[in-house]
Structure formats: C-alpha cells, structure tokens
C-alpha cells in the first residue's frame, strides 16, 4: 500500500463521521433522481419511491460496505467490542473481580518465581557482550596431588593460569579471581572494623569483562604485576558504607590491618561473579595474609601445587567453546603436570578443560536450581487450576447470557462478530489479570528477596516480561477460547425454547465442568502431597539430632592481627585470647575450630591409619575421612560424649606429642574389632597423630550430613595456624554476651572484627534456610491451590443447585427428605473429589519421586503425607459442598415449582 493511500486513509479516519454523512446524502440524492425518473415514466410518486429503493438495494448494508472500503472498520469494531466488554464486565463486577484476581494470582506467582530463576540462573552477566564470557573448569576435578579447595573442578594454580593466559588467540582476555577468605574478612575505614567480601583479581579482570567504574578507575595489569595496595569498591558496599560519595577515592582502607588505597568504584550493575555480591576487589597479592580463601598455607604465588584460582575469560571473536577447548588442551595438559611430576599418575583419569557459559549470579548455584524449578512447576500447576476456575466462571456466565446470544444471532448478527465479542471479553480479563499479576510479582519478588536473603536485584527484565506475556497468551487461549467455542455451538433457535428443551445440553455442560473440577482436584493433590513432603523434610531437619548440645553455644570467627605472621605468634595470640574469654563472667568454657561446624566447610582426604591405607586393613571400599582442627576442651564445650579415652587439653601444645581423637564411625570402619587408642591417624604422610580418644558422632558440615569417619587434631599442632573460629559455652541469654566478647577481642588489636557472630544453632539453621524457604512457599502454594479448588468446586455445585431448583422442588413435593437432598449434593461433591484423587494419586506419587533428592528423613511415597493430603481433599469436598447442599435441602417446593 502506497504512502499516498495511507495518507488518504488517515484523512478518512479523522473525518469519517462527516464523510459518512456525505456518502449518505450522495446515495439519497441517487435514489431521488431514480424516483423522479420513474415518476416521469409514469409511476405514482409512492410507487416510484419504492421502486427506486428496491433498485438501489439495502442502503444500510451498502453504506457499511462503502465505509469499510476506507479500511477502518476493524478499528470501529474493536472500539465497539471494548466498549461493550467494559459494560458487560462492569455489570458483573463481582464476577470480573474474581476472575481478574484469580488470573492475577496465577500469573503473578509464575512471574515472581520466574524472576528469581531468571536472576539467579538465566540472566547474562551485566557486562559487555556477555555471550562470549565463560568460566574455565577442569573435569573431572583437579589432578591428583594438587592442593585442594572446595571447588575442585573450577580452580587452577597460578602457574596454569599464567600459561593459559598467554594463549591470546583463544581468549581475548582470561582473568583470575579468588576470595581472600572463606567468608567475609575484616576491613576498616575509620574507627570501626567491619566484615566485607573481598576478592583478589588479576589486572585484566574488569577490562576483560568490560566492566567500567562509577568513580575513579578499576584494576590494571600494573596493579597485578606490582601487587599494588589498591582497592576497587563494589557499588553496593560503596552505597551502604560511603553513601555514594566519590570523595572516598584516595582514602585508606585497612584490609586485615593492611593499608590499601581506594582507587575506584565498579559499575552499578556489576556485583561480581561470586554467588553473593563482592564488596572490595584488590589485585592478586603475594603476602602470606592474603592467601586464597584466607588459607594459612603458602601463598599461591609460592605454592605452584595449590590449585585455588578461579578463571573467567572472554572468548576471542569467532572462537567457539569447543574450539577453545581443543586449542587449549595441549598447553593445559603440559602446564597442569609441570609441578606435579611431569605426567599424570598411574591410573589417573585424564583431565580435560571445559568452558561453562557465565549465567545468573555466578558459579555458586549448587543446589538452588532444583528447588527453584520445583517451585516453578508448582506455580505452573496453580495457574492451570486458576485457568480452570475462570473458564468455568465464564462458561457459567455465558450460559446465563444464552438468550442474548440467540437473539443476536436470530436478528442477523454474524457468528464471527459474536465470537470476536466473547474473545474481546476474555482478552480484556486476561490483560487486566496480567497487569495486576505483574504488580503482584513486583511485590512478591521483593518479599522473596527478603525472605530468601537474596542480595541480588530480582528486578524483572525483558525475559521475565516475555515469560509473563507468553503465559498470559497461553491462559487467554486455554480459558478464553474454550467457553467461547462451547457457547457458540448453540443453534439460534434453541435458547428461545423452554428450558426443558435444553436440559440435555445443560447436562453435558455441567459434566464438563465436573470433569474440570476433578482434574483440578488431582492437580491440587499433587501440590498438597509435595508441600507435605517438603514440610516434613523441614521438620525432620529441624529436629535432627546434631550430636551436641546446641543451647548456650556461641560462635564467631576472626583473623588474628599479627606482627610477624608466624604460627608461633598466632598460637600465642589464641592462647591469650582463650584465657581472656574464659575469664568473662557467665562463660563456662571456650574452644577453637578450624572449620566452623554447620557452615558446610570441611577438610576431606583419604585417611592414613598406622602409616597405610586403611582399605587394605579393614577391607572397606572407601578410605574417605573428614577432619577438623579444634582447640582444647572441644568435646566438653560442645557436649559431645567421649566414648573412650580423653578430650584435648591445654597440654596438647605444639611441642607436645601429636594426638588425635576420632569418631565412632572412624573406629568402627577403620579399626574394626581393635582397641582404637594408641593407633595412629593422619591426613598427610609427613606427620602421624596418636589416637587418644573416641568421641560420639556429631554433625560437621550441616544437618543433612550422614555419619562419616571423622578425625580431630589439635589446632595448636597444625603446621600453619591462621584464621580460626571461637566457640563459647555460656550460661544465660547468649545474645547478652556479645558486647563483652567484642570488647575483650578489641583489647588485642583495633582491626579485629568478629566474623559472623551467631549462635551455633543459628549456624546450622542457616544451612537449611533454603529448605525452610522452599517448604514455606510450597505450603503457601498448596494452600492457594486448595483455596482455588474449593471455590471452583463450590461454584460448580452452587450453579448446579440453582439450575436444579425445580427438580429439588419436585423431589420435595413427592416426599424426599431434607437429609436425602443434603446427602445428594454432598455425594456429588465427594464423587468429584474421589475421581480427582483417583487420577491424582498416581500423578502425585510420580511427581514426588522427582522431589526425592530434596527430601530428608522420609520416602517420596510417605504414606502419612499422602493420607493426610487425601483426607484434606475430602474435607475440602465436604466444606465446599456443604453450603450448596444445605441450600438444596432448604428448597421450598412451592417457590421452586413456580419457576417453570
């Protein structure tokens, strides 16, 4: 269509009223001339007039056809459809409100959960051209003999990093980064020390990712080469701590007591590539106190066997991940074993590089993926139930409007027009539901972020918007079209006949409504069973015996501020600190630990028993052991029973004979049928520790931990003594002790902050916070499903009762008892529920199998949970049926029969 024609069309759009009048007068003139001519030919005036009109044709139709030639009819029609829709919806305000609210709940819940999934798992990093950014992994894990971190498959040694970095034809830039502590570490600007997440990064980290700065600059290669004392702040930290003041640039920031200079603030959108936002970035450091993960061992520059750096790279233009892997592998194979004996050990699986696309919030997504998709599935099912309800509402309402439709069809309204009208009503409802749902989702994501302690922006982006639009369209098709199609199948004459003529059709329709409700019940059963299983799991986790007394236990971490950094000085520091803390009133005992129990961190290694591999002695198939280094009186402080031998004491010092305590599982597995005391255990062939005690099993990494062989060694007998955690057993309200503890610690050095101070119980609770969130949400979703199904069931029954009022009247008139009518309706309700349960049970069991990996302490087909869910459904059936049933039972036969 030419521009000229469009211009003309718009002209007609703007002036279409006057143009239509013109056209009408033009045609009127035509008819007058024709009549005049016919009159001249001898007809009477009246006859001529009629004849002229006959020859002209249907003037209204012709007028409409002519106007349609201007090409704006669709717009007129759409406006009319919308106006009419608005009137209809306003007329049935309650109906509209229920429908829109139901849809909004369904769409909103889906949008909210998807927002979280999008933010945590799908969203590209907020950097320049994120499609080219990949994490470098090594499969199946680090080579044998390499120093371990928790991230075996994603960590590399500094040497390997340097070797890979030179391959510039593969990566346009390859950057390394690593946290400076397992948790947050101490930073100080001004007087009060605080905790911050500090990452060390290579000089090309920011430039390679394409992340700019808000103020000042980011890191440079020169910073890396000289290991400069400069710091780049994260936007969130800068906002929180420095109120977004650019004057911080040039100011000192003490990190672990070492002065750094703030040189810049990273771009707002970028919060790092760790699972949680990074507060401060500093260049890679050579100093011992800035080792990777805050480890006490040798710095990564000095220890080429320690694989600890995480790598992220931008692929060069046109390089695919597969090609990059092929190009890098030879260099990697060589570099990997350079410091590990030159070649893989005998029987070692070949190590391979893998490139993992950078998505979501970073690499720490373990374990959140599955629960999130479970939640998404739940809200998806809720949306289905919601659609069913609204579809039934619409069908019922359209049935009530049957007469209107028939009359419209009978007087010549086109089917297409009627179809469009009904579709417009559905679409308006969906659109309103979607908009309201979007608003719901905005609020819900904020709540979720608070609840789930998600420190990332969950703000919906285009991907979420697309998702919402997609599900709304889906909803529009599912619930919008179905009732429209069933309504339009009515022949024009039918509805004008008496109601008994339509009885058969009505029965069909109410049967389809009952089938819908039954299906809803089955979906609801899936949801309630899942929710039940997840809640039971949470209960089991919360009541799990941890193996120690949780009351009165406080824990905090710290990095000692030392002059020389030697282990000797550190040991001295801790001894003094323990004395000071023990002296505090109310403190019953104090001890130390290397890995904080309940935090998920652990040392894992193959056990060495009496200098050899325990597999050859005990005949077990695994030599895996966990170990921790702990302070004096560890078992007494935690209340872990000693089964044999003794607890550690102050006497087990660095100069005393090396000793160890093992747990019962260790003794049973590796020292079967032998007296465990006196045997030797170690994690390294270099030193042997003599077993002086056997302790009861207790949880180490978290609540879900299964019993594993476990060995404890005195912290003071470790080669390197660095950051430790302090555990106190106190009498009285634990929270009241922090103030005194702080001041006791502060008397040692100004730069020591208490790291993550909390009760030991809270630490273990933290470990199951995700399970708690999932359980709570699933309860909420299960409740929502029950509510929706109950209203759907109620609506269907109530509608049926209204329609059958005459029937009840007749039944009453011929002697039916009230109780019989009551039971009739309740039976109908229960039948629907029973069918739903029959369909739903196998589905629920199949779905709960998918949940298996999330459950704890119960089987997916837990009979108690399933029976409770079924009982719940029956109660819903009774409750939803009761009102309609009692209405049916109180039918007045006289009034009822008057209807006919």
Partner 1 sequence: MSADFTREEIPPGTLDLLILKTLDREGELHGFQIAESIQLLSQDVLQVEEGSLYPALQRILMKGWISGEWGKTPENRRARYYRLTRDGRKQLQSSLSRYERVSAAIGRIIQPA
Which positions lie near partner 1, rule CB under 8 A? 2, 4-5, 8-9, 12, 22-23, 25-27, 29-30, 33-34, 55-59, 62-63, 65-71
Minimum CB separation of residue 444 from partner 1 in Å reads 51
- Cα separation, 847 vs 380, in Å, equals 14
- Cα separation, 149 vs 104, in Å, equals 47
Cα angle value 138/141/143 (rounded, 5°): 95
Please state, as a whole number, how many other Cβ atoms lie within 10 Å of the Cβ of residue 451.
Answer: 14
Residue 5 or 369: the one with the smaller Cβ distance to partner 1 is 5
Residue 12 or 301: the one with the smaller Cβ distance to partner 1 is 12
Residue 12 or 254: the one with the smaller Cβ distance to partner 1 is 12
Residue 6 or 84: the one with the smaller Cβ distance to partner 1 is 6
- In the numeric block, which tokens belong to residue 119? 């933010």
Residue 33 or 139: the one with the smaller Cβ distance to partner 1 is 33
Residue 34 or 626: the one with the smaller Cβ distance to partner 1 is 34
Minimum CB separation of residue 420 from partner 1 in Å reads 22
- In the numeric block, which tokens belong to residue 875? 């109660």
785-824: burial string, b at 16+ Cβ within 10 Å, e else: bbebbbbbbbbbbbbbbebbbbebbbbbeeebeeeebbeb
Residue 24 or 740: the one with the smaller Cβ distance to partner 1 is 24
Beta strand spans in 415-520 (E): none
Minimum CB separation of residue 27 from partner 1 in Å reads 6
- In the numeric block, which tokens belong to residue 807? 């029937």
Inter-residue contact 67 to 73 (CB < 8 Å): yes
Residue 69 or 411: the one with the smaller Cβ distance to partner 1 is 69
Inter-residue contact 752 to 745 (CB < 8 Å): yes
Residue 5 or 576: the one with the smaller Cβ distance to partner 1 is 5
Minimum CB separation of residue 4 from partner 1 in Å reads 6
Give, rounded to a whole angstrom, the gap between the first and last alpha carbons of the chain: 59
Minimum CB separation of residue 24 from partner 1 in Å reads 10
- Cα separation, 96 vs 426, in Å, equals 10
Minimum CB separation of residue 417 from partner 1 in Å reads 19
DSSP string, 213-249: EEEE----HHHHHHT--EEEE-HHHHHHHHTT-GGGT
Please state, as a whole number, how many other Cβ atoms lie within 10 Å of the Cβ of residue 472.
Answer: 23
CB-based burial label for 102 (10 Å; 0-12, 13-18, 19+): buried
- In the numeric block, which tokens belong to residue 318? 């046109």
Minimum CB separation of residue 413 from partner 1 in Å reads 21
Minimum CB separation of residue 60 from partner 1 in Å reads 10
Which has the closest alpha carbon to 591: 628, 547, 643, 564?
A: 628
Minimum CB separation of residue 421 from partner 1 in Å reads 25
Inter-residue contact 530 to 851 (CB < 8 Å): yes
Residue 9 or 268: the one with the smaller Cβ distance to partner 1 is 9
Residue 26 or 455: the one with the smaller Cβ distance to partner 1 is 26
Minimum CB separation of residue 49 from partner 1 in Å reads 14
SS (H, E, C) 188-213: ECCCCEEEECEEEECCCHHHHHCCCE
Minimum CB separation of residue 76 from partner 1 in Å reads 15
Distance of CA 448 to the CA centre of its chain: 9
Which ranges of 632-768 would DSSP assign to H, the alpha helix? 634-638, 664-670, 738-746, 760-767
Residue 53 or 567: the one with the smaller Cβ distance to partner 1 is 53
Residue 62 or 871: the one with the smaller Cβ distance to partner 1 is 62
Minimum CB separation of residue 15 from partner 1 in Å reads 14
Residue 60 or 853: the one with the smaller Cβ distance to partner 1 is 60
DSSP 480: I
Inter-residue contact 777 to 444 (CB < 8 Å): no
Minimum CB separation of residue 48 from partner 1 in Å reads 14
Residue 21 or 129: the one with the smaller Cβ distance to partner 1 is 21
Minimum CB separation of residue 43 from partner 1 in Å reads 13
- Cα separation, 795 vs 387, in Å, equals 14
In the chain, the largest separation of any two C-alpha atoms, in whole Å, equals: 138
Inter-residue contact 531 to 855 (CB < 8 Å): no
- Cα separation, 420 vs 400, in Å, equals 18
**Cα–Cα distances in angstroms (integers) from residue 70 to residues 60, 66, 689, in the given order:** 16, 8, 96
Residue 18 or 192: the one with the smaller Cβ distance to partner 1 is 18
Minimum CB separation of residue 18 from partner 1 in Å reads 12
Minimum CB separation of residue 121 from partner 1 in Å reads 53
- Cα separation, 279 vs 454, in Å, equals 15
- Cα separation, 368 vs 366, in Å, equals 6
- Cα separation, 609 vs 798, in Å, equals 75
Which has the closest alpha carbon to 691: 594, 608, 602?
A: 608
- Spell out the residues 6+ positions from residue 802 whose beta carbon is closer than 8 angstroms to its own: none
């Amino acid at each position: 269509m030419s521009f000229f024609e469009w211009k003309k069309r718009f002209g007609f759009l703007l002036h279409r009223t006057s143009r239509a009048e013109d056209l009408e007068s033009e045609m009127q003139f035509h008819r007058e001339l024709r009549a005049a001519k016919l009159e001249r030919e001898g007809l009477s005036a009246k006859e001529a007039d009629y004849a002229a009109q006959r020859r002209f044709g249907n003037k209204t139709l012709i007028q409409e056809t002519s106007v349609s030639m201007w090409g704006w009819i669709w717009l007129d029609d759409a406006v009319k459809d919308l106006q009419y829709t608005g009137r209809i919806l306003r007329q049935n305000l309650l109906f509209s409100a229920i429908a829109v609210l139901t849809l909004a709940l369904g769409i909103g819940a889906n949008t909210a959960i998807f927002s979280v999934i999008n933010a945590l798992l799908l969203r590209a990093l907020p950097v320049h051209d994120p499609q080219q950014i990949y994490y470098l992994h090594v499969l199946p894990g680090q080579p044998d003999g390499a120093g371990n971190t928790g991230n075996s498959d994603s960590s590399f040694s500094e040497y390997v990093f340097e070797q890979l970095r030179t391959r510039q034809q593969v990566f346009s830039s390859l950057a390394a980064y690593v946290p400076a502590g397992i948790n947050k570490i101490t930073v100080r600007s001004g007087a009060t020390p605080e905790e911050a997440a500090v990452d060390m990064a290579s000089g090309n980290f920011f430039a390679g990712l394409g992340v700019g700065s808000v103020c000042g600059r980011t890191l440079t290669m020169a910073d890396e080469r000289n290991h400069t004392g400069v710091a780049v702040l994260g936007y969130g930290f800068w906002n929180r701590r420095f109120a977004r003041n650019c004057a911080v640039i040039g100011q000192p920031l003490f990190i672990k007591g070492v002065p750094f200079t703030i040189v810049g603030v990273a771009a707002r959108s970028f919060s790092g590539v760790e699972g949680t936002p990074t507060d401060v970035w500093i260049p890679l450091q050579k100093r011992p106190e800035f080792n990777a993960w805050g480890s006490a061992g040798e710095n990564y520059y000095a220890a080429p066997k320690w694989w600890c750096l995480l790598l992220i790279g931008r692929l060069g233009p046109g390089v695919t991940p597969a090609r990059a892997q092929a190009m890098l592998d030879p260099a990697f194979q060589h570099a990997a074993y350079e410091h590990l004996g030159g070649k893989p050990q005998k029987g070692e699986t070949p190590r391979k590089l893998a490139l993992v696309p950078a998505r979501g919030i970073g690499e720490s997504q373990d374990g959140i993926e599955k629960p999130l998709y479970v939640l998404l599935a739940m809200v998806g099912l809720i949306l289905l139930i919601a659609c069913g309800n609204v579809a039934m509402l619409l069908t019922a309402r359209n049935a009530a409007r049957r007469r209107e439709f028939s009359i419209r069809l009978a007087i010549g309204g086109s089917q297409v027009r009627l179809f469009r009208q009904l579709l417009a009503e559905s679409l308006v409802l969906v659109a309103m539901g979607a908009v309201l749902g979007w608003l719901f989702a905005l609020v819900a994501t904020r709540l979720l972020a608070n609840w789930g302690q998600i420190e990332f922006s969950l703000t919906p982006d285009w991907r979420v918007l697309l998702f919402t639009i997609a599900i709304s369209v889906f909803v529009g098709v599912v619930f919008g079209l179905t009732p429209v199609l069933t309504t339009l199948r009515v022949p024009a004459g039918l509805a004008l006949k008496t109601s008994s003529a339509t009885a058969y059709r009505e029965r069909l329709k109410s049967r389809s409504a009952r089938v819908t409700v039954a299906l809803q019940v089955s979906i609801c059963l899936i949801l309630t069973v899942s929710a039940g299983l997840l809640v039971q799991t949470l209960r089991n986790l919360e009541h799990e015996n941890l193996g120690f007394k949780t009351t009165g236990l406080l824990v905090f971490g710290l990095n000692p501020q030392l002059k020389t950094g030697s282990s000797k000085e550190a040991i001295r520091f801790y001894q003094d600190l323990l004395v000071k803390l023990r002296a505090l009133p109310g403190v019953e005992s104090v001890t130390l630990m290397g890995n904080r129990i309940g935090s998920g961190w652990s040392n894992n290694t193959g056990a060495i028993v009496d200098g050899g591999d325990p597999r050859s002695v005990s005949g077990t198939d695994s030599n895996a052991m966990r170990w921790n280094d702990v302070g004096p009186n560890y078992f007494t402080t935690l209340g872990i029973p000693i089964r044999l031998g003794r607890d550690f004491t102050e006497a087990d010092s660095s100069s005393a004979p090396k000793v160890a305590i093992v747990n019962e599982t260790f003794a049973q597995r590796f020292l079967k049928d032998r007296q465990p005391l006196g045997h030797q255990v170690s994690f390294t062939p270099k030193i042997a520790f003599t077993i002086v005690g056997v302790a009861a099993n207790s949880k180490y990494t978290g609540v879900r931990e299964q019993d594993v062989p476990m060995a404890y060694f005195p912290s003071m007998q470790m080669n390197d003594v660095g950051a430790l955690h302090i555990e106190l057993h106190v009498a009285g309200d634990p929270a009241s002790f922090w103030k005194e503890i702080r001041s006791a610690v502060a008397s040692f050095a100004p730069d020591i902050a208490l790291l993550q101070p909390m009760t030991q119980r809270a630490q273990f609770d933290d470990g199951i916070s995700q399970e708690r969130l999932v359980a709570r949400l699933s309860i909420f979703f299960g409740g929502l499903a029950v509510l929706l199904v109950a209203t759907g069931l109620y609506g269907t029954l109530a509608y049926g009762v209204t329609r059958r009022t005459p029937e009840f009247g007749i039944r009453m008139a011929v002697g039916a008892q009230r109780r019989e009518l009551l039971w009739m309706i309740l039976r109908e309700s229960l039948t629907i529920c029973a069918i739903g349960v029959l369909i739903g049970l196998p589905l629920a069991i199949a779905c709960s199998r998918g949940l298996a990996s999330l459950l704890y302490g119960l089987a997916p087909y837990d009979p108690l949970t399933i029976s409770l869910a079924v009982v719940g459904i029956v109660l819903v059936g009774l409750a939803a049926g009761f009102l309609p049933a009692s209405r049916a039972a109180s039918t007045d036969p006289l009034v009822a029969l008057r209807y006919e």
